[in-house]
Structure 1
């Protein structure tokens, strides 16, 4: 009996050629986009999204995967990459915002920054989002780039996220009047100054990094790895398109992209377009209220219905998927398979939790946590603590259920 090796599979063989073709098409599309109203910003968003998608796919930058690696295996590299991204982006945002708003003052927020109200509702949103990550196996940003890898779960998770947004819109008015309306919106530089806020947040990140660093004490580095020396250019090129990039490369790149993005467009976020589409459809069907109290007055991943889908966020998202697709093809990691009922159930149920948490928390791990943390919003820290606690608890519950089923 003969078998076909993975390297000889037609999809694997043709993937690099398809990657070059897609990259060419993406480059040509920027000429058309440039001719539209606001074309330069749209091109910037498309290219930024493509670079972000490439980085996310090649470095496996996934908040859930990184947290799971630490909680289950004691591997700190992924969470350290998130810490690095926050630190780099925090410095970049401080420089840029200091030029826009030289004297930070309470009650005067920098425009468009993802700084939201802090209340128990935000905690509930983080817990829901974290639980959705455990159930579906990724956060929303990772589902977008895994969609480009051929994931069988991600299409259902994104559909479930849209349903979760609709559920969030239905519960919003009640939560708003109950808690959100009176909740404080805390921008740390307005209370501590730019320098004080930067030092405090970098100190917190340093403390988290020091705590995570303990994981390296359990590792034994092989002698041949220590003596490997500097690789040649050919080896460096091959490493770009095989395996995954180092964690720190992903963290550094995401931090720089987050800081540069605000120069030409809104902060990074990957749920605004999905939420807008869900809101527009649900309102057209009469499933949610036409008036969502106070929602559109908050910064974050805005979900206003759009008259056109050629917006910076939509182009960023299109670029992200295209960039991840190019990276997956070039590295021969595009591996589609037919979904099972289990894949659909995991994706839909986890996606609903993700969508409700993202809508109620005014963003996801990219918008509320990453962009909000870089901007100095207290809401980012509260959302992050709730989210990672939910991931820890969810993984513990899965482990206990696994042991019970075996006995």
Structure 2
């Protein structure tokens, strides 16, 4: 997959030649500093608006998330591919770690909001959705979109900062997918969603029981992944371990530590830990994280203005998650999270000299658009994506998050199996 290699090195230049883009790469750290400084007047302006502190908090959360995603290469598609196709478990273990950290953190926060979870009330604004075959279909479509486009929606956002050729088309396709999802929502809602149960695990098991169950499942999954990896390595011929690259060794001074932040990629486990902490921190002052609501609300507002989308989308606005109700202003927490994510990703990519744009090919445009449509339809119908439904929902104890994630992972497994089979025929 082409995009997954962006910014992670490539073939060396011929002797005596300067690597392509080497001259232009020198301006990138300067651009990172300029972009970071440009955020100061923005946050000052936000403080003058109603709810300004929350807006600045949202911008900071997005900024941190963008840096972490870009520097750790935290990507659901890439991590699943490395595990299922290449027997590299580090990425999938990072996702498991993020879920576990966020699960503990959100349980603590929710228990302070709602001490008695079995009183028939759901925690406010948490991404807890209905569970039906429609949710499974949404997860399958989203997983297929990841296979075709090469990333999930959150990764496409941060890969814009790396110059990805497919991501702009994938995000455009996502908008088209949302438009299609708005057209199919009312029939699907009447058919299955309206009467589907909304299952919040702490309501049935208590906070302690739900936490133990979910952590137990994650621990069992992690143990199985690691044991399977060890067994496969024991069955294969092992190449002696390469000596440690001095540039990747533990830094021994503050300048070396600073340089290490902007070279290569961050440790997988560090990425998972930070994503879990950021997801938890977000709910302290605003709604849980999500990266699709802005696209959905803009598409919905534009199409409803033209009469191309039903004025009433049955039940949709009553669910927390990918809130697509058009807003009266651009300055919403969700919009600021997304703006911060983009800014953080650009700052990280510039600082690490990983902004390497190239002109898109017809294949880039085609797979981006087609995959994006599947991503958008799946996110709209599933009321969120890998960040909103799987991470924020699963961490909150929503069964819908785990069902969506399982359906998505099933499609990825089938897709990678097919790719392996097809490649063996060549």
Distance 1:223 1:175 in 2: 55
Distance 2:310 2:417 in 1: 38
Distance 1:231 1:273 in 2: 40
Whether the aligned pair in 2 keeps the contact of 1:78 and 1:247 (CA below 8 Å) is yes
Whether the aligned pair in 1 keeps the contact of 2:251 and 2:260 (CA below 8 Å) is no
Q: Which piece of structure 1 moves more, 81-90 or 100-109? A: 100-109
Out of 26, 34, 51, the position equivalent to 1:38 is: 51
Whether 1:291 aligns to 2:299 is no
RMSD between aligned residues: 1.9
Question: Map of 1:225-240 to 2, 5 A cutoff?
Answer: 225=244, 230-233=250-253, 234-240=255-261
Which residue number in structure 2 is paired with residue 199 of structure 1? 212
Which residue number in structure 1 is paired with residue 196 of structure 2? 183
Q: TM-score, normalised by structure 1?
A: 0.96
How many residue pairs were aligned? 405
* Structure 1 residue ranges without an equivalent (≥5): none
Question: Map of 1:3-82 to 2, 5 A cutoff?
Answer: 4-6=17-19, 9-82=22-95
Tell me the CA shift for residue 2 of structure 1: 8.7
Whether 1:95 aligns to 2:119 is no
Distance 1:391 1:72 in 2: 10
Tell me the CA shift for residue 230 of structure 1: 4.6
Which residue number in structure 2 is paired with residue 396 of structure 1? 417
Match of 2:270, SS state, is helix
Tell me the CA shift for residue 237 of structure 1: 2.2
Whether 1:222 aligns to 2:235 is no
Q: TM-score, normalised by structure 2?
A: 0.92
Tell me the CA shift for residue 327 of structure 1: 0.2
Match of 1:182, SS state, is coil
Match of 1:179, SS state, is helix
Distance 1:229 1:337 in 2: 32
Whether the aligned pair in 2 keeps the contact of 1:84 and 1:252 (CA below 8 Å) is yes
Distance 2:40 2:344 in 1: 11
Distance 1:106 1:138 in 2: 40
Distance 1:220 1:250 in 2: 28
Distance 1:229 1:148 in 2: 27
Question: Map of 1:236-315 to 2, 5 A cutoff?
Answer: 236-315=257-336
Match of 2:143, SS state, is helix
Tell me the CA shift for residue 235 of structure 1: 3.2
Distance 1:106 1:167 in 2: 38
Tell me the CA shift for residue 216 of structure 1: 4.5
Which residue number in structure 2 is paired with residue 132 of structure 1? 145
Which residue number in structure 2 is paired with residue 173 of structure 1? 186
Whether the aligned pair in 2 keeps the contact of 1:164 and 1:354 (CA below 8 Å) is yes
Q: What stretches of structure 1 move > 6 A for 4+ residues in a row?
A: 226-229
* Structure 2 residue ranges without an equivalent (≥5): 1-13
Q: Deviations over 1:222-267 (max 9, x none)?
A: 3744999753124322221011001001000000000010001000
